[in-house]
């Protein structure tokens, strides 16, 4: 039986997620409905993606009994409110990253999922890529020896985008792209809590962070090679560009490729057909009756958010949600 998806939000990332779902078997994945803040937006989105039902409010999607899991693709400043709406109604949820605005909100989402006995996963799609799985295999088999350091740099030129820079919209380099560097380091070190966190950064006039520097470096000002490197005793392991959705793995100069399927519609973001991997992971978990994924556990999301909160505190980035 197919997993029936409900899409919450009709923006760019929801578009790419639907395109990625269409690269999977229709017998396994079906998009049953889409909900947006206006019926017009939902109907336009539904027509583009061939979705049978369109709702002009999220509450209507909540009431649809023919939905197995809801993909939340709205702005992350609304993740808590929208996430609780579906979780408290007993809906399984895949919520886009970042999970929420701070650790308090993340824990509220997790608590709601536990109380209602439903599946919840932060959509850190990187964790579901075959390249990441291969990195995990090499590390678990000690094929590269003991890793002593993770070096990851991620830079994009995004200062011309209001959603990226405005604090009211949850902007800032750390929340939007820096978390990819952090989650990679946490994956490599198997969720080990860091003994100390040291973050410095440059603030934009809006009060969000432009550059955050630690062991991991994030830029909004310019493009930077987005390739994490794992130095080890006998060489190094390189995760191919871009680091958050890679299709190439290089071990001591030898490359292994993991090509993605071609999209049926134009995409908004690079390699977005790779969103299919997190959809497959959600289906695997639901079929097994699991309430969280081993690839991106709720504990992983808590620690990731906790580190980002501390880095923001040190740099001086405070969102409205931090005082609520």
The three-state (H, E, C) secondary structure of 192-253, written as one string:
CCCCCCCCEEEECCCCCEEEEECCEEEECCCCECCCCEEEECCEEEEECCCCCCCCEEEECC
The reported pLDDT for the residue numbered 149 is: 75
The reported pLDDT for the residue numbered 62 is: 98
Which tens digits make up the pLDDT trace of 61-77? 999 999 999 999 999 99
CB contact burial 2-40 (16+ within 10 A = b; e otherwise)? ebebbbbbbbebbbbbbbbbbbbeeeebbbbbbbbeeee
Inter-axis angle of helices 103-115 and 79-87, to 10 degrees? 10
Residue 264 three-state SS: coil
Which tens digits make up the pLDDT trace of 267-301? 999 999 999 999 999 999 999 999 999 999 999 99
The reported pLDDT for the residue numbered 244 is: 85
Q: Of 202, 221, 222, which Cα lies nearest the Cα of 212?
A: 202
Cα 258 from chain centroid? 20
Which tens digits make up the pLDDT trace of 233-253? 455 677 876 778 889 988 878
The reported pLDDT for the residue numbered 140 is: 84
Please classify residue 222 by burial: count the beta carbons closer than 10 Å to its beta carbon, then call 0-12 exposed, 13-18 middle and 19+ buried: exposed
The reported pLDDT for the residue numbered 210 is: 58
The reported pLDDT for the residue numbered 251 is: 83
The reported pLDDT for the residue numbered 91 is: 98
The reported pLDDT for the residue numbered 227 is: 52
Residues of the chain with pLDDT under 50: 213-215, 217-226, 233
């Amino acid at each position: 039986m197919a997993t029936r998806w409900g899409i919450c939000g009709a923006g760019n990332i929801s578009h790419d997620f639907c395109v990625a779902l269409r690269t999977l078997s229709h017998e396994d994945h079906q998009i049953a409905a889409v909900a947006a803040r206006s019926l017009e937006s939902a109907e336009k989105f539904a027509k583009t993606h061939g979705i049978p039902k369109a709702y002009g409010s999220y509450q209507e999607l909540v009431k649809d009994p023919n939905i197995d899991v809801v993909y939340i693709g709205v702005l992350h400043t609304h993740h808590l409110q929208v996430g609780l709406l579906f979780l408290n109604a007993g809906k399984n949820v895949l919520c886009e990253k970042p999970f929420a605005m701070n650790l308090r909100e993340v824990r509220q989402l997790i608590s709601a999922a536990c109380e209602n006995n439903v599946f919840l996963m932060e959509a850190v799609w990187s964790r579901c890529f075959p390249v990441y799985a291969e990195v995990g295999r090499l590390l678990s088999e000690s094929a590269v020896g003991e890793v002593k350091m993770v070096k990851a740099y991620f830079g994009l030129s995004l200062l011309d985008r209001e959603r990226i820079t405005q604090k009211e919209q949850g902007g800032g380099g750390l929340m939007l792209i820096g978390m990819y560097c952090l989650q990679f380091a946490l994956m490599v070190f198997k969720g080990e809590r860091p003994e100390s966190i040291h973050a410095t950064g440059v603030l934009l006039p809006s009060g969000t962070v432009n550059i955050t520097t630690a062991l991991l470096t994030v830029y909004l000002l310019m493009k930077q090679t987005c390739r994490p490197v794992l130095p080890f005793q006998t060489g190094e392991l390189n995760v191919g560009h871009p680091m958050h959705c890679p299709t190439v793995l290089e071990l001591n100069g030898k490359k292994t490729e993991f090509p993605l399927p071609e999209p049926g519609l134009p995409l908004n973001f690079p390699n977005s057909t790779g969103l299919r991997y997190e959809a497959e992971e959600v289906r695997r978990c639901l079929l097994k009756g699991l309430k969280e994924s081993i690839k991106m556990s709720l504990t992983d999301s808590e620690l990731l958010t906790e580190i980002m909160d501390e880095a923001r505190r040190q740099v001086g980035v405070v969102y409205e949600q931090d005082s609520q």
